[in-house]
A and B are shown apart, each in its own frame.
Chain A
Amino acid sequence: MLQNLRRRLSATTVVMWIIGLLLLAMVFWGSFQTLVSGKYSGRVWLDLIVFGIAQGSVYALIALGYTMVYGILRMINFAHGEVFMSGAYMGYFVATALENRGTLDSNLLLSLVLIVLGAVVTSVTIAVLLERIAYRPLRRAPRLVPLITAIGASFFLQYTFRGFFGSGVKGYPEAEGLKGTITLFGLQLLKTQVLVIVAAIILLIALYTFVQRTKTGKAMRAVSEDKDAAALMGINVDRIIVTTFIVGGSLAGAAGVLYSMLFRQVYFLTGFIPGLKAFTAAVLGGIGNIAGATMGGLFLGVAESLFPNLVLDGLGIPAPYQLKDALAFLLLVLVLIFRPTGILGERLATKKA
Chain B
Amino acid sequence: MKKSIVLLSLLLVMAVILTACPAAPQQPQQQAQQPAAGQCPACTDPKGCVTIGKDEPIRIAWMFVVEGPDASLGTDTKRGVEIAKDDRPTIAGHPVELIGENEGCNAEGGQAAGTKISSDPKVVAAVGTNCSSAARAAIPLMCGAGIPMVSPSNTAPDLTAEDRPAEYWCYMRTAHNDRVQGAAMAKYAYEKGFRNAATIHDGSLYADKLQQVFAEEFKKLGGNIVAQEATDPNETNMGPMLTRIAAAKPDFIYLPIFIAAGGQVTSQAKQNPDLANVQLAGADGIFSPDFLKAAGDAAKGFLWSSPDFTAFGSGYADFLKKHEAKYGEKVLAPFHAHAYDAYNLIANAIEKVAVDCGGGVIQIPRQALRDAMISTKDMKGLTGNLTCTPTGDCADPKIAVYEGVSADPATWNPGADANSNPRKIWP
Contacts and interface: CB of A to CB of B under 8 A. Distances in A.
Decide whether A and B assemble into one complex.
yes
Interface of A: 39-41, 44, 47-48, 51-52, 55, 167-171, 174, 181, 188, 190, 262-265, 267, 269, 273, 304-306, 308-309, 313, 318-322, 324-325
B293 interface: yes
B30 interface: no
Contact of B244 (A168, A267, A321): A321
A267 B237 contact: no
Nearest to B292: A171
B229 interface: yes
Interface stretch (B3-11, B135-143, B257-265, B374-382): B257-265
B212 to A, nearest CB: 12
Given A44-B244, A322-B230, A322-B232, A304 B273 contact: no
A263 B236 contact: yes
Nearest to A269: B234
A320 B293 CA distance: 28
Given A263-B264, A264-B296, A39 B247 contact: yes
Interface stretch (B66-74, B300-308, B389-397): B66-74
Contacts of B231: 321-322
A50 to B, nearest CB: 8
Q: Which of B203, B239, B267 has the most CB of A within 10 A?
A: B239
Nearest to B270: A179
B267 A51 contact: no
24 contacts: A40-B247, A47-B239, A51-B239, A52-B240, A171-B263, A171-B293, A171-B294, A262-B236, A263-B264, A264-B296, A265-B236, A265-B260, A265-B264, A304-B237, A305-B240, A309-B240, A313-B244, A319-B201, A320-B244, A321-B230, A322-B231, A324-B232, A325-B232, A325-B235
Contact of A169 (B237, B247, B290): B290
Contacts of A167: 67-69, 71
B273 A51 contact: no
Contacts of B31: none
Interface in B293-326: 293-297
Contacts of A273: 234, 236
A168 B203 contact: no
Given A41-B247, A181-B273, A322-B232, A305 B237 contact: yes
Given A168-B69, A169-B260, A319-B229, A55 B244 contact: no
A171 B273 CA distance: 22
Interface string B251-277: 000000001100110010001010000
Nearest to B203: A322
A47 B293 CA distance: 27
Contacts of A319: 201, 228-230
Interface of B: 67-69, 71-72, 201, 203, 228-232, 234-237, 239-241, 243-244, 246-247, 259-260, 263-264, 267, 271, 273, 290, 293-297
Nearest to A306: B240
B273 A305 contact: no
A171 B293 CA distance: 5
Nearest to A325: B232
Contacts of A267: 69, 260
Contact of A174 (B203, B228, B229, B297): B297
Interface of B is mostly: helix
Nearest to B245: A321
Nearest to B235: A324
B74 to A, nearest CB: 11
A51 B237 contact: yes
A264 B299 CA distance: 14
A325 B233 CA distance: 12
A169 B230 contact: no
B239 A265 contact: no
A14 B9 CA distance: 68
Contact of B296 (A40, A168, A171): A171
Given A39-B247, A190-B271, A264-B267, A321 B290 contact: no
Contacts of B295: 171
B244 A309 contact: yes
A51 B240 contact: yes
Given A39-B247, A44-B247, A305-B239, A265 B71 contact: no
Contacts of A308: 240
Given A167-B67, A167-B71, A44 B232 contact: no
A325 B260 CA distance: 17
A318 B228 contact: yes
Nearest to B260: A169
B296 A170 contact: no
Contacts of B273: 181, 188
Contacts of A313: 244
A304 B238 CA distance: 11
A306 B293 CA distance: 30
Given A47-B239, A304-B240, 12 more contacts: A48-B243, A167-B69, A168-B68, A168-B72, A265-B260, A305-B237, A305-B240, A309-B243, A321-B229, A321-B230, A322-B232, A324-B232
A163 to B, nearest CB: 12
A169 B69 CA distance: 5
Given A39-B247, A263-B264, A318-B228, A168 B236 contact: no
Nearest to B236: A263
A267 B295 CA distance: 14
Contacts of A324: 232, 235, 240
Contacts of B247: 39-41, 44
Contacts of A305: 237, 239-240
Q: Which of B228, B243, B294 has the most CB of A within 10 A?
A: B243
Contacts of A265: 236, 260, 263-264, 294
Contacts of B69: 167-169, 267
A44 B243 contact: yes
B158 to A, nearest CB: 19
Contacts of B241: 321
A188 B267 CA distance: 18
Nearest to A192: B271
Contacts of B239: 47, 51, 305
Give 9 nearest A-B pairs by CB, closest first: A319-B230, A322-B230, A321-B241, A51-B239, A263-B236, A305-B240, A171-B293, A169-B69, A167-B67
Contacts of A44: 243-244, 246-247
Nearest to A45: B243
B243 A170 contact: no
